[in-house]
Amino acid sequence: MKKAILPLMLVALFGGRAEAADLLSVYRDALSNDAQFASAKASLEAGREKLPQARAGLLPSLGLTANTVWNDVTSTRKSEPPTTTASKYNTNGYTLTLTQPLFRWQNIVQYGQSKLQVAQVEAQFAQARQDLILRVAQAYFDVLLAQDSLQLAQAQKKAISEQLEQARRNFEVGTATITDTHEAQARYDLAVAQELAAQNDLDVKRHALRQITGKEPEPLRPLRPEVRLQPPQPGDMGQWVKAAEQDNFLVQVAQAGLEIAAKEVEKQRAGHYPSVDVVATRSRSATSGSVFSGVSFGGSVTESNTIGVQLNLPLFAGFATVSRTDEAAALREKALADLENSRRTAAQGARQAYLGVTSGLAQVKALEQALVSSQSALESNRLGYEVGVRINIDVLNAQQQVYATQRDLAKARYDTLLAQLRLKAAAAALGEDDVQQINALLGQ
């Protein structure tokens, strides 16, 4: 019986433990649950319908009209004596009309516009996917940084608490003054406040992650302490800037917008052009038998089929066509300026992200060395305090320096990874493969 209890205890201890989530699993949750990304996906589906809608203007259209009318007519003739006649009958019929456009330049231009509009919404959706990766990574690393800050605040509080107890003991035996105790108490109270602030910040960051994934965040896998971050490839900022100016998805959106605006000028100018259609009709009209002054008459049926070419030539529309053409021309100039602004913005984003990566790598290296130095300084101050050559405030300052350096190092690593993702996004090269690469840097 005792042998059977041990497996049950192991199941209870380890079987119910939640598996830690990594960046890739969080990203895939966001793909399914993020409301902003779902909105972008719906916009993509709606935008793709522009193409069949515009194609319909080049295809034949078929329409049917039908009617049936019951007639009850009474007429009185002014004569001596007056005469009255009455008739009752039914008329019905239908007309089937087929129209095939032969030349409608506005419809042809609109069809070309629709292709550009589809390309535009697809670029917008690709940008939304990249934005989702950046938002997920930002929220993920924000939670990790908040966890690190909380853990460091708790460790700092514990270390200060030990220093406070030591200061009290030294004061009781007469080897230290009450000032050491007061200094340690003040630092301890400050550490408690910092721990509460760190806990609140962690709760906020976890809620922000839940907003993206649509579910309560699981424990997250942290970045490995010994991780080594790699510089960007290629290592030339000019190549990244050039790629951003050409390939950035927002640049592609603006480029498509300029081409759409140029075609809009052509479409509005086509308001002066004639249109030619083939029109074919089939109609049938029937009159049922009628009763005329008590006498019945037989009905009649008329059928006709027609086919021909119809020309429509606009002559004057009150200068509306000219005004719409001028409006479209002004919007084309606006689209050209928007494209230039998009290129400059993409180039600036690439430069900023590239410098963020390179300076971040240098900062991480410097902070790693500073952490080693700070830890050595802390050990020296502790030893000096024990032998009486250092005072309590020296140890407290050294402890604070170690924890501040650890927090700055963690933040520098997260910021560098985010800058790498932003650099890829600026060049329209960010995808799930990049998420997997960063995911490989996470520990257990």
Classify residue 121: in a domain, yes or no. Answer: yes
| Confidence class for position 7, pLDDT limits 50, 70, 90 | very low
Give me the residue label for tokens 């049938």.
Answer: 284
Tell me what the mean pLDDT of segment 81-110 comes to: 89
Q: Are residues 303 and 325 in the same domain?
A: no
**Average confidence score pLDDT of the chain:** 88
9 within a domain of the structure (yes/no): no
Long-range contacts of 310-318 (CB under 8 A, 24+ apart): 310/276, 310/277, 310/278, 310/279, 311/274, 311/275, 311/276, 312/274, 312/275, 312/276, 312/277, 313/274, 314/271, 314/272, 314/273, 314/274, 317/271
Q: Are 341 and 415 found together in one domain?
A: yes
Residues 127 and 152 in one domain: yes
Residues 285 and 361 placed together within one structural domain of the fold: no
Same domain, 267 and 287: no
Do residues 106 and 312 touch, judged by C-beta distance below 8 A? no
* Residue where a domain stops, chosen among 263, 297, 313: 313
What predicted TM-score, i.e. pTM, was given to this entire model?
A: 0.84
Q: How many domains does the chain have?
A: 2
In the chain, what's the furthest Cα-to-Cα distance?
A: 146
Residue 209 has pLDDT above 90, yes or no: yes
State which of 298, 313, 328 marks the end of a domain: 313
| 10 in any annotated domain | no
For position 49, what pLDDT does the model report?
96
Position 290 scores a pLDDT of 65
Q: What is the pLDDT of residues 310-341, one digit of tens each?
A: 999 999 888 999 999 999 999 999 999 999 99
Position 1 scores a pLDDT of 38
* Confidence grade of residue 298 (pLDDT, cut at 50, 70, 90): low
Q: pLDDT (tens digit, 9 = 90+) per residue, 32-49? A: 999 999 999 999 999 999
345 pLDDT exceeds 90? yes
Q: Is the dihedral of CA 424, 426, 428, 430 positive or negative?
A: positive
Across 97-125, average pLDDT = 96
pLDDT value, residue 20: 80
Same domain, 298 and 154: no
Q: Which of 254, 289, 313 finishes a domain? A: 313
Tell me: do 243 and 154 sit in the same domain. Answer: yes
Q: Please provide residue 288's backbone torsions phi and psi, each rounded to the nearest 5 degrees.
A: -75, 170
Residue 16 has pLDDT above 50, yes or no: no
* Bridge partner residues of 93 (DSSP): 67, 285
Answer yes or no: do 298 and 217 share one domain: no
Q: Is the pLDDT of residue 77 over 90?
A: no
Token pair for residue 192?
């408690």
Confidence category of residue 297, pLDDT binned at 50, 70, 90? low
State the residue range of the domain holding 303.
61-103+274-313
Higher-pLDDT residue of 423, 84: 423
Instruction: Over range 221-231, report the average pLDDT.
Output: 89
pLDDT at 156 over 70: yes
* Residue 25 pLDDT: 92
Q: Is residue 116 part of a domain?
A: yes
CATH code at 242?
1.20.1600.10
Q: Indicate whether 12 belongs to any domain.
A: no
- As a whole number of angstroms, the distance between CA 242 and CA 351 comes to 10
Is 75 in the same domain as 49? no
5 — pLDDT class (breaks 50, 70, 90) = very low
Shared-domain flag, residues 241 and 190: yes
What is the amino acid identity at position 112? G
Assign 184 a pLDDT band (cuts: 50, 70, 90). confident
Shared domain for 232 and 365, answered yes or no, is: yes
Structure tokens at 58: 């080049």
Q: Are 78 and 114 in contact (CB under 8 A)?
A: no
Alpha-carbon radius of gyration of the chain: 40
Domain match, 48 and 75 both: no
Residue 37 lies in a domain: yes
Q: Is residue 346 part of a domain?
A: yes
Is 8 a member of any domain?
Answer: no
Query: Which tokens go with 363?
Result: 């900062």
